[in-house]
A and B are shown apart, each in its own frame.
Chain A
Amino acid sequence: MAFSDEQLERYSRHIILKEIGVRGQKKLLNAKVLIIGAGGLGAPAAMYLAAAGVGTIGIADADEVDLSNLQRQIIHATDDVGKPKVESAKETMNKMNPDVTVKTYHEFVSSENILDLIKDYDFIIDGTDNFPAKFLINDACVMAKKPFSHAGIIRFKGQLMTYVPGEGPCYRCVFKNPPPKDAVPTCKQAGVIGAMGGVIGSLQAMEAIKYITGVGELLTGSLLTFDAIKMNFHKVKLPKADCNCAVCGTHPTITKLIDYEQAECDGI
């Protein structure tokens, strides 16, 4: 595949980087990334990946754009209220970069569809807002041997970690089971500063780009936390993958995907 003059110009700031170059940019154009959740995290992640020229971007979300989303979900605009988020996200990405093929999945992820959704993708971004979905994405990615970026945001805090099969702990090694419903505050109950989605979602896009191009160190075996009040990033070294982990351990007890029942944090 040869670059057109327009592509050489569009991606010139990537191509000039010795770590990326023409080779890395080609890898990005050939890569497929699935973003689950077109919200606070998914919006900036999708936009940076589209701008970067990730050739195929899948986006899954069952919700429609609500006015209360617009404080942070920057891929959607005021005119988009009422429209499926995946459609609004697709329109924005198409406008940003015609090199990108956007695939939309206007549905909730569940144990029924997730393995089918992730199977064609190289990297998955968890931009969901609830623990059942976060555990489902982890378990499905462990079972299907897919790398993914986990993240969470609330109030003035955010965190993320990256799972790569065989290279470190999974989300369930750290957090064994979802907390009971309403035990841990949600964004709707507790609030979230809009720019936090931008910080953490952009870091998720960064992890995807680094994974695809093979540049640098990923957050495998680490959890990066960000406290905007103290303006402090803290990288927590995680214990090694837990060989007793229920899903990624040597003798997994979870061999079928689980649809945990729990109220959602409120995507809307």
Chain B
Amino acid sequence: MKITVSGEVKEVKDELTIAELIELENVETPQYVSVSVNDEFAKSEDFKTQKLHEGDIVEFLYFMGGGQ
């Protein structure tokens, strides 16, 4: 199936979970990433069970602490 991850369309296996996508995308500090699916926040406790669907739009939101 095709999903959009951070603005890029990607072909992934059907029924991919958010946790699997996080691994696939090599997300840095995966335990602290916020994830939105179709403009809704996914709960971190659901990452292992929440399956993605064809056409889903997924965004990763990262902590970025620097500034000085």
Which residues of the partner chain A approach B29 to less than 8 Å between Cβ atoms? 179, 183-184
Q: Say whether A223 contacts B66, CB under 8 Å.
A: no
Q: Could you tell me if B68 and A265 are in contact, using CB atoms closer than 8 angstroms? A: yes
Give the contact stretch, choosing among A50-58, A205-213, A231-239: A231-239
Q: Which of B10-18, B19-27, B34-42 is the interface stretch?
A: B34-42
**Contact, CB under 8 Å: A187 / B63:** no
Interface residues of A in 42-91 (CB under 8 A from B): 42, 63, 69, 73
Residues of A within 8 A of B36 (CB): 236, 238-239
By a CB distance below 8 angstroms, the chain B residues around A175 are: 34, 61, 63
**A183-B32, A184-B29, A234-B6 known; A152 and B68 CB under 8 Å?**
no
- Residue in B39, B64, B66 whose Cβ sees the most chain A Cβ within 10 Å: B66
Q: Using Cβ atoms and an 8 Å threshold, which residues of chain B touch A190?
A: 66
Residues of B within 8 A of A (CB): 6-7, 29, 31-32, 34, 36, 39-41, 59, 61-68
Interface residues of A, Cβ cutoff 8 Å to B: 37, 39-42, 63, 69, 73, 126-131, 134, 151-154, 157-159, 173-175, 179, 183-184, 186-187, 190, 192, 197, 223, 234, 236-240, 242, 265-268
CB-defined A-B contacts under 8 Å, sample of 14: A40-B66, A40-B67, A42-B68, A127-B67, A127-B68, A128-B67, A151-B67, A154-B66, A183-B31, A187-B68, A234-B6, A239-B40, A266-B68, A267-B68
